[in-house]
Amino acid sequence: MAVRNTTTSAARKSSPASKAVQRKTLELAAEGDRRSALDKALIVLEAVVARPRPVGLPDLSAELRLPRQTIHRILQQLAENGLLVRDPSRDRYAIGPRLSHLALSALSSANQGAPVRAILTDLVGDIGETCNVGVLDGLDFVYLDRVECSWSLRVHLMPGSRVPAYCTSGGKVLLAHLDPALRAGLLRSRTLEAYTGATMVSPDVLEAELDQVRARGFAMNDEEFTVGIVGAAVPILDGQGRAYGALAVHGPSPRLSISRARSYLPQLKAAAEKLASVWNIGAAPEKKDGR
């Protein structure tokens, strides 16, 4: 089957992540009928994950150049298995609970955790304070891995622990990278608890803070979740600038001041790049000739 060498309007408007999905689709289309059901299901799943909002059948069909009947069948199967969820009022699909759980489990699995722990261990040895890697799950920041410092005065939290995202450095840096509409909905989905006198509980104030976090590329936590605990975090970015996780450092304020935590940002960013490499999400291609 010949593949048309044309670009649809949907493709022209698609994100860098969607373009990567399209390239994979074209490669599979060149194989004709040799494409397996698993190939097609993965392409559809990747296309939904790449979208910042729920997506419908017409848009997926235009983007992926697969028959509508095929995509419809795959969407139904993925939804039946909890990998996607369907909004019946708009007939659109979004990431399902089973896929979210699978993603969290995969990132924290011991099958691939050794390189992550090695990077964290080196970082803690360099700066002397506890460091952690985590991801966003709703309004929670979930610790995937942590390496404690050698000081006797430190915070003890285990991998899998959840803390509020809006008042921790790792959580804030990930909230800052969300789609603005999604972020606004999350911050207004429940009453935000004030854990300390420094906790920001106004969604408007938080959104202004998160805009600044996104612009400067890091987040600080000045005793916003726990009195006496300060932290800093940077995002773990893919080649298109999407945040897959966060790398953070925190410690007691008598030992780790805000200025001292900020001074560790270069080490945090370097370690975050290594983690992106371990997760195989890579860095953006370098521009040639200064362009």
Please report the pLDDT score of residue 111 as a whole number.
Answer: 59
CATH number of the domain residue 87 falls in? 1.10.10.10
Q: Does 117 map to a domain?
A: yes
Based on the domain organization, do 90 and 210 belong to the same domain?
no
Residue 195 CA to residue 216 CA, distance in Å, equals 25
Q: Does 21 map to a domain?
A: yes
Based on the domain organization, do 49 and 125 belong to the same domain?
no
Concatenating the DSSP letter of every residue in 65-114 gives ---HHHHHHHHHHHHHTTSEEEETTTTEEEE-HHHHHHHHHHHH-HHHHH
The domain boundary, picked from 64, 95, 126, lies at: 95
Tokens (6 digits) for 1:
């089957």
Q: Does 184 map to a domain?
A: yes
Q: Does 198 map to a domain?
A: yes
Please report the pLDDT score of residue 110 as a whole number.
Answer: 58
Please report the pLDDT score of residue 148 as a whole number.
Answer: 84
CA angle 15, 218, 241 (to 5 degrees): 15
**Residues 19 and 10 sit within 8 Å (Cβ to Cβ):** no
Based on the domain organization, do 86 and 110 belong to the same domain?
no
Q: Does 3 map to a domain?
A: no
Q: Does 265 map to a domain?
A: yes
Based on the domain organization, do 120 and 168 belong to the same domain?
yes
Please report the pLDDT score of residue 144 as a whole number.
Answer: 85
The domain boundary, picked from 95, 123, 147, lies at: 95
Based on the domain organization, do 125 and 233 belong to the same domain?
yes
Q: Does 286 map to a domain?
A: no
Based on the domain organization, do 33 and 70 belong to the same domain?
yes
Nearest to 195 by CA among 170, 218, 166, 154: 166
The domain boundary, picked from 95, 112, 134, lies at: 95
Between β-strands 229-237 and 219-222, what pairing exists: parallel, antiparallel or unpaired?
antiparallel
User: What is the residue-level pLDDT of the chain in tens, covering all 291 positions?
Assistant: 343 443 333 443 445 555 655 665 555 554 444 568 888 888 998 888 888 788 899 989 888 888 889 999 999 999 888 889 888 777 888 888 888 777 776 665 655 557 888 999 999 999 999 999 999 888 999 888 888 887 655 566 666 688 999 999 999 999 999 988 889 999 999 999 999 999 999 999 999 999 999 999 999 999 999 999 999 999 999 888 889 899 999 999 999 999 999 999 999 999 999 999 988 886 554 444 444
Based on the domain organization, do 51 and 146 belong to the same domain?
no
pTM: 0.68
Based on the domain organization, do 161 and 226 belong to the same domain?
yes
Please report the pLDDT score of residue 212 as a whole number.
Answer: 97
Q: Does 16 map to a domain?
A: yes
Domain containing 123: what range? Answer: 100-278
State how far the alpha carbon of 81 is from the alpha carbons of 6, 53, 78, 105, 191, in Å: 34, 20, 5, 17, 32
Residue 87 CA to residue 154 CA, distance in Å, equals 45
Based on the domain organization, do 128 and 107 belong to the same domain?
yes
Based on the domain organization, do 194 and 61 belong to the same domain?
no
The total of structural domains in the chain comes to: 2
Please report the pLDDT score of residue 66 as a whole number.
Answer: 85
Based on the domain organization, do 145 and 229 belong to the same domain?
yes
Based on the domain organization, do 106 and 89 belong to the same domain?
no
